[in-house]
Structure 1
Amino acid sequence: MIHLPGGTFTMGSERFYPEEAPLRRVSVDAFWIDETPVTNRQFARFVEATGYVTVAQIAPDPKDYPGMAPEMAQPGSLVFHKTAAPVDTANPANWWRFDFGTSWRHPHGPGSDLDTLDLWDHPVVQVSHADAEAYAHWAGKDLPTEAEWEFAARGGLEGAEFAWGDELAPGGQMLANYWQGLFPFANQCLDGWERTSPVRSFPANGYGLYDMIGNTWEWTRDWWSERPEVKKGGGSCCALSNPRGAKLKDSFDPAQPQVRIGLKVLKGGSHLCAANYCQRYRPAARHPEMIDTATSHIGFRCVVRAPA
């Protein structure tokens, strides 16, 4: 892990997506953070030691999903499938599919496995929020808050849009694993990877942390809110100290009122973020995800809140 002494920084962005605004001053206390996302190798040690079974390996309960087709009550998870041609990017169902038999051991579907694909040093994926929390608690750690995560991702670079500056690919250099080309059908793979990449494949940020941007989205401990918390009545000079996100009662998906499963904040973007679809390969970017969801592009890393 890397120790960060904490500090005050400008969180958010007002140039990309509305849920990232407003710009706000935030302070965080000192903490330790994993140098990389948790890998398949590390997660396997946890499973071997505890016998833990992930959410994707358990059949969903139809009572939790009103209207769910009975045949869907089987273990499985969401897998990205590249399309053969341009599709309507307003409909994620064009490239996401719930594949039975998918899990962290079989991240691209039941026919895939970690040995054949040589994925042991890639970030673990197909893990729900509960799975990430279980690992963190076993390791004596926790998941980062959104503020802690963004502070770490910026690497001490105040005000920049990307973790390395204001240009996505300076001099044509690929500094993270994201989608180059037209999503979801034409990936140029200029960064060398179609899906996830081994941790440390790209340069560390200013704090010595790897893969904070791209590769996989990362779970945080914070409940989602469309409008982040700001300091009340203090003006731009006053920092909000150690924000902890919204309340569960305010963090449900309004598009699915019948499903009462909360949303947590994801950070960092993934290998599926592209200029034409999801420019969330930035520290300020944030995205809601239901806590029961596991996909082929979501992972996590852990923190410990303690001084050096």
Structure 2
Amino acid sequence: MADCCSPGAGAREHSTPGLTLPLRAVGGHPTSGPAGTTPTTPTTQNNQASDVQIPGGTFTMGDPFNEGYEGDGESPLHEVAVSPFRISATTVTNQEFAEFVNATGHRTESEIFGTSAVFHLAVKAEPHEILNRVNNVPWWLNVRGADWAHPAGPLSNWENTPDHPVTHVSHNDALAYCEWASRRLPTEAEWEYAARGGVPRLRYPWGNELHNNTSGTAAHNCNIWQGDFPSRNTEDDGYLTTAPAKSFSPNGYGLYQTSGNVWEWCSDWFLPKYYKTCLAQGTVEDPQGPTIGRGRVMRGGSYLCHDSYCNRYRLAARSSNTPDSASGNLGFRTVAL
């Protein structure tokens, strides 16, 4: 099943069996190469101040409710042992990414290619900058000049939302940030273990029900879609697109928004059958994922997820995209080395 939250699911064109081109192949070719500046080390490691310590332990990884999409490979359940690690409480913010860009001169792949995908209700661009609707997922528009610094298009600016998650960053961009900050991306197992907040087999970080009903009023716990997708978002949770990275209550470990807001890159390659391989090995210690795959793992869902078509803001849900893909609902958080 295609992931309707992610433009790459419907926009990439097959070239050779098992390989795909990223979304930006729809809109044109790269306009120039990466900046030639030499990366520098930050004076203080980004995210370190907001790191939370995750204790080591063993947990049951996968979908305990048997409600995931078969093609995503959320089952079978399998036991995973994770060593202690430190992970950022939030996704990397626009402000933090700006510090990286200012220090290194890094140009993201969205900037190099000249276009990126913006949700149609959020676009801030002149009509001639909107190149096309993405095949199969027409609520995504390929917008010239959309990138991390202009998340809704060239008429927007990251400085208006400095505490929101950075978006329009590819897996390759996330790795570049990690190298500068002396950090790394979480493995998929680390991500799920930390996202669960120390409570086993939950559907969401806060419990098994989407809303906490108090006095007959639905209390929102995450930033996802409300209303009729993709034409009307009631914004009952307060946001059309991204929310500040520290919105809503953190989970039991102190991590914010491991359900909804933005998809988060993990280090692993994605293969739907990988969990079956793990099950055959018994309890797997610190799995690093398969050595090959059809893309890199993304976790957590985004502000576009809704159970009517993309029920992937559950803790067990997983998806993927090619390493050079980017969009307005995709970011990342980091782990200390």
- Tell me the TM-score range normalised by the shorter chain: 0.7 to 0.9
CA distance in structure 2 between the aligned counterparts of 1:144 and 1:43, rounded to whole angstroms: 18
Is contact 1:157-1:164 (8 Å) kept? no
Residues 1:194 and 1:219: Cα distance change in structure 2 (over 3 Å): same
**Aligned residue runs from structure 1 range 239-254, under 5 A:** 239-248=283-292, 251-252=293-294
Q: Which position in structure 2 is the counterpart of 1:112? A: 156
Q: Deviations over 1:233-287 (max 9, x none)?
A: 45xxx41111111223xx23xxxxxxxxxx1000000000012111111111100
2:334 to 290, 302, 308: 302
Q: Which position in structure 1 is the counterpart of 2:111? A: 57
> 4+ residue stretches of structure 1 with deviation over 6 A?
none
Q: Which position in structure 1 is the counterpart of 2:212? A: 170
Q: Deviations over 1:66-99 (max 9, x none)?
A: xxxxxxxxx111111149xxxxxxx643111211
Q: Which position in structure 2 is the counterpart of 1:37? A: 91
Q: Which position in structure 1 is the counterpart of 2:189? A: 147
Is contact 2:76-2:279 (8 Å) kept? no
Is contact 1:182-1:276 (8 Å) kept? no
Corresponding residue SS for 1:288: strand
CA distance in structure 1 between the aligned counterparts of 2:68 and 2:309, rounded to whole angstroms: 12
Is contact 1:21-1:228 (8 Å) kept? no
The alignment status of 1:286 with 2:332, answered yes or no, reads no
Corresponding residue SS for 1:176: coil
CA distance in structure 2 between the aligned counterparts of 1:32 and 1:297, rounded to whole angstroms: 24
Residues 1:55 and 1:239: Cα distance change in structure 2 (over 3 Å): same
CA distance in structure 2 between the aligned counterparts of 1:119 and 1:241, rounded to whole angstroms: 39
Corresponding residue SS for 1:201: coil
How many corresponding residue pairs?
Answer: 267
CA distance in structure 1 between the aligned counterparts of 2:52 and 2:212, rounded to whole angstroms: 26
Q: Which position in structure 1 is the counterpart of 2:117? A: 78
Letter in 2 for 1:96: W
CA distance in structure 2 between the aligned counterparts of 1:153 and 1:98, rounded to whole angstroms: 31
1:48 to 96, 102, 105: 102
1:137 to 179, 196, 211: 179
Corresponding residue SS for 1:47: helix
Q: Which position in structure 1 is the counterpart of 2:79? A: 25
Q: Deviations over 1:32-59 (max 9, x none)?
A: 0001000000000001111111111113
CA distance in structure 2 between the aligned counterparts of 1:3 and 1:155, rounded to whole angstroms: 11
Query: Unaligned stretches of 5+ in structure 1?
Result: 60-74, 84-90, 253-262
CA distance in structure 1 between the aligned counterparts of 2:95 and 2:313, rounded to whole angstroms: 25
CA distance in structure 1 between the aligned counterparts of 2:272 and 2:139, rounded to whole angstroms: 25
Letter in 2 for 1:9: F
CA distance in structure 2 between the aligned counterparts of 1:231 and 1:299, rounded to whole angstroms: 27
Letter in 1 for 2:324: D
The alignment status of 1:212 with 2:258, answered yes or no, reads yes
Corresponding residue SS for 2:319: strand
CA distance in structure 1 between the aligned counterparts of 2:68 and 2:171, rounded to whole angstroms: 26
TM-score (norm 1): 0.83
Q: Which position in structure 2 is the counterpart of 1:227? A: 273
Shift, 1:103, TM fit: 0.7
Corresponding residue SS for 1:46: helix
Q: Which position in structure 2 is the counterpart of 1:9? A: 59
CA distance in structure 2 between the aligned counterparts of 1:231 and 1:106, rounded to whole angstroms: 41
Shift, 1:213, TM fit: 1.2
Q: Which position in structure 1 is the counterpart of 2:248? A: 202
Corresponding residue SS for 1:191: coil
CA distance in structure 1 between the aligned counterparts of 2:331 and 2:231, rounded to whole angstroms: 23
Query: Unaligned stretches of 5+ in structure 2?
Result: 1-50, 123-134
Q: Deviations over 1:107-157 (max 9, x none)?
A: 111221123xx2100000000001101111111100000000000100011
Q: Which position in structure 1 is the counterpart of 2:199? A: 157
Residues 1:239 and 1:110: Cα distance change in structure 2 (over 3 Å): same
